[in-house]
Structure formats: C-alpha cells, structure tokens
Amino acid sequence: MPRKTISLPEDLADFVDENHINLSRFVQDKLRELSESENSDEDLSDDEAKEIAQKLEDLGYLN
C-alpha cells in the first residue's frame, strides 16, 4: 500500500498523541466513508469538491 504524508498543526498532533488515536486508520475510515457516500455514484460538483477540500484543510490534512 502506498504511503502518503500529511502535516498536522502542533495542537492536533498533541491531541492525536494524548488520545492514542491511530491516525492512519482514522484517515482511511474517513476516506472510505467519503468514497461510499451517496455521491459515489455521481461526479462531485466543483462546490462539493471544494467543500470537502476545505474540511480536510481545516482539519490539518492538507497544506
């Protein structure tokens, strides 16, 4: 399985460490949820794609 690198702001990194969160599993589960959502049968509109990208960026998954 190819590896991807993400950057987290320090406060989120601390939260992940303090709560013993398996970040890899968490991200995989969230991406799986997105791929299986009702939009999986349809192409995402530009607005929907931007909204998802903004949510990921707000969570610190995108630089």
Query: Which sequence spans correspond to the domains of the chain?
Result: 10-58
Which one, of 15, 58, 52, 45, lies nearest residue 30 by Cα?
52
Q: Which two tokens stand for residue 5?
A: 């690198």
Q: Are 59 and 12 in contact (CB under 8 A)?
A: yes
Whole-prediction pTM: 0.47
Per-residue model confidence as pLDDT tens digits over 5-58: 888 899 988 998 999 988 888 888 888 888 887 655 567 788 888 888 888 888
Residue whose tokens read 């939009």: 39
| Residue 9: φ, ψ to 5° | -60, 155
